Amino acid sequence: MKNVAVLVSGGGTNLQAILESERCGGNPHGRVTLVVASKPGVYALERAANFGVETAVVERKGYAAQAEYDAALLALLRAHSIDVIVLAGFLTVLGPDFTAAYPRAILNVHPSLIPSFCGKGYYGLKVHEEALKRGVKVTGATVHFVTEECDGGPIILQKAVEVLPDDTPETLQKRVMVEAEWQLLPKALAMVCAGEV
């Protein structure tokens, strides 16, 4: 059984999808044992508590250097015997020391079909604004392994989502979450925990 940590920065909708899938038997080889937020008071911490999952907060601004932050986060994860990490809307950049410590064991979900609309600065509504600006007819979500390169790790799963003529960034974001992110992330996590990837 793999111990999973989910790193969050906001509302935790992807965390909710993972926890609900786990509760329904969707990840028989892993379980979320820790949720770590990048700032206090985010709703994701409440979601974790509702499922009886231990939580912690590690704020980037509490550390002068990236390496110090990474070391503190790694120490917390190691103290909890974490095997797999999921970045679920985690907006704090992780350094090379961190990613090197968990090769092919850190997952991220990105709200586009990588390599489109990804990399530095592409997160949240910005991704969907750019997709609409470019006039793409199909977008989607990608779950990939995290490496030193932003959004550049090996792809695990992708799912396409249609862009509708009257979409706004907000309606497109919601459809991508419901039709792709919330389905792909629990599935990819289960695959990694089972050793299928």
Residues with a known catalytic role: 110
Specify the amino acid at residue 162.
E
For residues 17 and 89, what is the distance between their CA atoms, to the nearest angstrom?
13
Total Cβ atoms within 10 A of residue 11: 15
Q: Which residue has the tokens 């550049």?
A: 152
SS3 108: strand
Give the DSSP H or E segment for 155: strand 155-162
For residues 86 and 64, what is the distance between their CA atoms, to the nearest angstrom?
25
Please state, in angstroms and as integers, the Cα–Cα distance from residue 159 to each residue in 112, 134, 145, 148, 155, following that order.
9, 19, 16, 24, 11
Specify the amino acid at residue 23.
R
CA dihedral sign, ordered 152, 154, 160, 161: negative
